[in-house]
Amino acid sequence: MCAMLWRSAALLLCILPLLSVAQLPVCTRVQACAARLDIYPLLEEDSSGWGSGLVPLYDEAFEPTTFDYTQTPESTTFELCECANNKTCDSDVDQRNLRLDESIKLTFCDDIQQQLPLQCKGQRGLPRVIGIAHPSGETVTTVSSTAVFCTCPSGYERLRPEYWGGAEISISYKCK
């Protein structure tokens, strides 16, 4: 009985480390292998009063939350998937990075020109980042998934965030 208990314990000790290492899925062509998220502090609101002294219009009364991009951000990197064929997800290689805006930079397994050869046209194939919503609702605090089908040589412009499910939102981008 004691020998069987020791064998079970030894087997369990061998298996537990393997179970604790979560395997990431293999990246598809349209997925970034990593995302760097820079969260900037909120811009201090002007609390001096009504500004011009006139009664504000509806949309002037509720200003959108804005971030202070002159401050140092709090940066976090999220590993999203593993590169195929033992390639590495190397964010130090500039040709593999795609900056969508001031807050989000995606890293791909290959050079962007090879992995995403198509240029975005119209409203099809918009880049999308999915993650848990920031309390402001304007960005994400984590990145759980991405989908990028094409690139925009002139850069990207953020569209309004959309509810994705649970606590997650989706942020889409269009070409500038």
| DSSP β-bridge partners for residue 131 | 169
Mean pLDDT, contiguous 10-residue spans, the chain (176 residues): 44 42 85 94 63 56 66 92 92 95 95 92 83 87 95 90 92 91
| Residue 46 confidence (pLDDT) | 56
Write down the CATH number for the domain with range 22-38+72-175. Answer: 2.20.20.160
pLDDT tens column, 105-148: 999 999 999 999 999 887 767 899 999 998 888 889 999 999 99
| Residue 89 confidence (pLDDT) | 94
Q: Which residues have CB under 8 Å from 143's CB, separation 6+?
A: 35, 37, 78, 80, 104, 129, 130, 131
What are the tokens at 146? 């991405």
Q: Which residues have CB under 8 Å from 41's CB, separation 6+?
A: 67, 68, 71
Instruction: Give the C-alpha separation, 27 to 30, whole Å.
Output: 8
| Residue 134 confidence (pLDDT) | 86
